[in-house]
Amino acid sequence: MSDNPHASQTPWFPLYDHRLVALSGRDALAFAQSQTMNDVGALADGQWHWNGWLTAKGRLIALFALIRIAADTVWLVVPDADADDLATRLRRFQFRSKLAIELRDDLRIAGKLSASSLASGNHWVGSAADGIELDLSGRMDGGMPGRSLRIGPELHPGANAALVARWRCMDLAHGLPRLDPSQSEQWTPQQLSLERLNAFSVKKGCYPGQEIVARTHFLGQAKRGLALVRSDAPLVPGTELPLGDQTVGTVVSACGDLGLAVLPLDLNAENPGMAGASWRFEPLHGGLAR
């Protein structure tokens, strides 16, 4: 049972900026393992994790939740990115692999601003036929509402732009980048601090961009990472952040005056130049790692 006595009153609302790409067939898991940046082989049926697809130069094309449905089926929950283009590009690497890569627009994706009473951690509940539910709550965080995500054939009524915007802002507050097309293929996993989400592996076998990711990890070459910032004016992805007479970082995701920015790791709120800056640091929440 949910810890929230009002959970049953919390409405589901469509996340129209999320779409589902399904990989199905004998080689679905092996293909996902060879192409994506996290260890798909470590997942059991009924589990999911954050994952992504990189260019050969180690830049993130798309970040998604990868769900192991069964031994021959993987679902990718893709926010923001062009899912049609992602599926098309993935098919170019099929070669002789026995699998189908298809968009599942018959399955709807919805969110709810309360913790799931069924799913927890990286374990989902339900069935591919009737729908599944994931817990997207930020564990170990006080003061932030829980969240649930549902994927199923039914269309949830009650489209609500305000709730969708709040969902996006909560993603950013937890350090989950929401990359629009202008920020695709611009950043490495380390620059986006995706280790906070356990979203990539440096121990599994080869995948596109793996050499760059592993070298950066083992040589300690990451000099920039993700920070949550708030500005005096609305932010736009791609906006450069000034500090004094220098540009110190770039906004990669935005929700009104809140944004995730790639900044030098040694820059912090105690920097003397922050007093006159038009933006400031906000504390990042945690607990979205799966």
pLDDT in tens, 255-281: 999 999 999 999 988 887 898 899 999
Q: Please give the pLDDT value at position 156.
A: 66
Is 98 inside a domain boundary? yes
As a whole number of angstroms, the distance between CA 70 and CA 90 comes to 20
Q: Please give the pLDDT value at position 121.
A: 94
Q: Please give the pLDDT value at position 141.
A: 58
Q: What's the CATH number where 32 sits?
A: 3.30.70.1400
Is 3 inside a domain boundary? no
As a whole number of angstroms, the distance between CA 80 and CA 183 comes to 11
Length of the chain: 290
**Domains held by the chain: number:** 1
Is 61 inside a domain boundary? yes
The list of the chain residues with pLDDT below 50 reads 1-7
Contacts of 226 (CB under 8 A, 6+ apart): 175, 177, 191, 192, 193, 196, 252, 260, 261, 262, 263, 284
Is 280 inside a domain boundary? no
Is 277 inside a domain boundary? no
Tokens describing residue 139 = 């564990």
Is 70 inside a domain boundary? yes
Q: Please give the pLDDT value at position 5.
A: 41
As a whole number of angstroms, the distance between CA 84 and CA 211 comes to 27
Provide the residue range defining the domain that includes 49.
Answer: 11-181
Tokens describing residue 117 = 């009473």
Is 89 inside a domain boundary? yes
pLDDT digits (tens, 9 = 90+) for 118-135: 999 999 999 999 999 999
Is 256 inside a domain boundary? no
Q: Please give the pLDDT value at position 287.
A: 87
As a whole number of angstroms, the distance between CA 138 and CA 145 comes to 8
Which helix H or strand E contains 135, and what residues bound it? Answer: strand 131-135
